[in-house]
Amino acid sequence: MQSQPEIRGVATELLASKGLRLISCNSVQTLWAGYGHICQIKACSNNTGVSQSLMFKYVSPPSSKSNKNVRSLDEGHIRKIFSYQVEQYFYTYLAPQMPNKIAVASCLASVNTTAKGANTIGMVMNDLRDSFPVAGEKRAELNETQVHAALKWLAGFHGFWWSRADEVRRAARVRPPLEHFKQHKSTELGPQAGIWLKGGYTYLATRRKEYDGLKMDEDSEWSSAFCEPGGSGETSVAELAAGFLCSSAVREYQTLIHGDVKSENLFTTIKGDAVAFFDFQYVGLGLGVCDLAKLFTCSVPLRMLVDDDEAIPTASTLEMQQGEETLLRKYHDQLQRTSGKRYGWSLFLTHWETALVDWLRFQASWGFWGNTEWLEARVRSILDDAQWLAWIKSAYEASERDWRN
């Protein structure tokens, strides 16, 4: 556990590099497994004497060296340690390039160092609540205005980075946690860490244990639906969808995705007509629809997705309804406008459906929350669709051939 003097020491040094002096530093929240703190800081300018309120995200996880036996292959621990370094890279190198209308915190100063095997990450950021005072709450729905604002932010973010996809690709250097760790035998990514080669924290390559659990789960309808080999050699639907989403077939459409889009990772204006996202620990290369799959399931009110938001019958199927389509069209239009690129609507929809399948695979293996009945019914209808199945198989096989050649 980090001590107050230790946290204040790092904050003081970072502020000094910007001509600021620390007045106070109070922890407002501890981070996952006690790996760090979010602190509210008061600082004063050495030149003008004007004081300001800032946020300080400070992370100092137990080093893998001191915990070698227990921790060295703990996927969750390694994922977290990498994630803070990814976030520091994002705020330091990528966020400053973004236009003001895609609101993110600006990072005044940051550090990512290792001394005696212990990694320290610190980020001094402006307090987003100055302009976005309303917090999206934990596992809560957004209201309609906030949903539109969140979609607009996402289309702007995805569109901006889609037009700079080469730069995103150069920065996307951090491979799945265990793979990276096994090769480098270290949880330090170094100052040039980069962002995740695949954004998000739910993709199949990092969730094999959960997937094996689902395979054995005789009570879940998704066990056979996702995990049984599906006519294409030994490849299950879950593997087809996950494989497709990171294959060369989607390269042209890949952008930077946030990776953890939910109400508790955003603030909004009082009116709810603009949002700012934070928590960029899982930012990386991916399809924008993967961010949308989580948002629609976890933070969009059901009545915005379906015509009749009475309970969706168990085991039913559900085609895309007007509400879902309206939201997707709005996002799709703005994505194309911001990026200046074209994304055919029907291709976009097949990518969307594949993202829903992949997201449900994670929830079915990890635990459900949000619009579960909607998600399950939508995925039943996608898996019932012979055209979708034929398409995903051939797309997957084509990308496998590509990869072998």
Ligand X SMILES: Nc1ncnc2c1ncn2[C@@H]1O[C@H](COP(=O)(O)OP(=O)(O)O)[C@@H](O)[C@H]1O
Residues at the contact surface with Mg ion, assessed by CB under 5 A: 265, 279
The whole-angstrom separation of Cα 98 and Cα 62 is 33
Of 30-38, 114-122, 247-255, 378-386, the segment contacting ligand X by CB under 6 A is 30-38
**CB 223, min distance to Mg ion, A:** 31
How many Å from the N-terminal Cα to the C-terminal Cα in the chain?
50
Query: Which of ligand X, Mg ion, none does 400 bind, CB closer than 5 to 8 A by kind?
Result: none
Q: Contact between 129 and ligand X (CB under 6 A)?
A: yes
Q: Contact between 128 and ligand X (CB under 6 A)?
A: yes
- Give whichever of 36 and 159 is closer to ligand X, judged by the CB atom: 36
- Give whichever of 61 and 230 is closer to ligand X, judged by the CB atom: 61
- Give whichever of 279 and 325 is closer to ligand X, judged by the CB atom: 279
Question: Binders of ligand X among 301-340, rule CB under 6 A?
Answer: none
Query: Which of Mg ion, ligand X, none does 397 bind, CB closer than 5 to 8 A by kind?
Result: none
Element holding 238 (H helix, E strand):
helix 237-245
Of 127-135, 152-160, 361-369, 391-399, the segment contacting ligand X by CB under 6 A is 127-135
Q: Contact between 93 and ligand X (CB under 6 A)?
A: no
Letters for 263-282 (x = contact with ligand X by CB under 6 A, - = none) are --x------------xx---
SS3 of the chain: helix, strand, coil, percent, to 5: 50, 20, 30
The whole-angstrom separation of Cα 179 and Cα 275 is 35
Query: Which of Mg ion, ligand X, none does 129 bind, CB closer than 5 to 8 A by kind?
Result: ligand X
Element holding 32 (H helix, E strand):
none
Measured in degrees and rounded to the nearest 5, phi and psi for residue 112 equal -145, 95
The whole-angstrom separation of Cα 26 and Cα 74 is 31
- The site for ligand X, by CB under 6 A, has a size of 13
Distance of CA 116 to the CA centre of its chain: 31
Q: Checking DSSP bridges between strand 275-277 and strand 235-236, what pairing results, if any?
A: unpaired
Using alpha carbons, select from 385, 191, 198, 156 the residue that is nearest to residue 283. 198
Q: Of these, 7, 31, 242, 312, which contacts ligand X (CB under 6 A)?
A: 31
Q: Of these, 32, 93, 388, 391, which contacts ligand X (CB under 6 A)?
A: 32
- Give whichever of 260 and 373 is closer to Mg ion, judged by the CB atom: 260
User: What count of other Cβ atoms lies within 10 Å of the Cβ of residue 170?
Assistant: 10
- Give whichever of 54 and 250 is closer to ligand X, judged by the CB atom: 54
Q: Of these, 4, 17, 24, 29, which contacts ligand X (CB under 6 A)?
A: 29
Q: Contact between 121 and ligand X (CB under 6 A)?
A: no
Q: Contact between 14 and ligand X (CB under 6 A)?
A: no
Give whole-number Cα distances, 245 to 165, 232, 254, 399, in Å: 16, 17, 9, 10
Q: Are 206 and 177 in contact (CB under 8 A)?
A: yes
**CB 105, min distance to ligand X, A:** 4
**CB 36, min distance to Mg ion, A:** 12
- The DSSP string of 252-304 is GG-EEE-S--SGGGEEE-SSSS-EEE---TT-EEE-HHHHHHHHHHHTS-GGG
Give whole-number Cα distances, 331 to 108, 148, 151, 208, 306, in Å: 31, 9, 6, 32, 17
Q: Contact between 125 and ligand X (CB under 6 A)?
A: yes
**CB 55, min distance to ligand X, A:** 4
Q: Of these, 103, 105, 306, 357, which contacts ligand X (CB under 6 A)?
A: 105
Q: Contact between 39 and ligand X (CB under 6 A)?
A: no
Angle CA(385)–CA(390)–CA(396) in degrees, nearest 5? 125
Q: Contact between 355 and ligand X (CB under 6 A)?
A: no
Angle CA(213)–CA(218)–CA(219) in degrees, nearest 5? 105
Query: Which of Mg ion, ligand X, none does 84 bind, CB closer than 5 to 8 A by kind?
Result: none
The whole-angstrom separation of Cα 208 and Cα 220 is 17
In the complex, the residues that contact ligand X under the rule CB under 6 A are 29, 31-32, 38, 55, 105, 125, 127-129, 265, 278-279
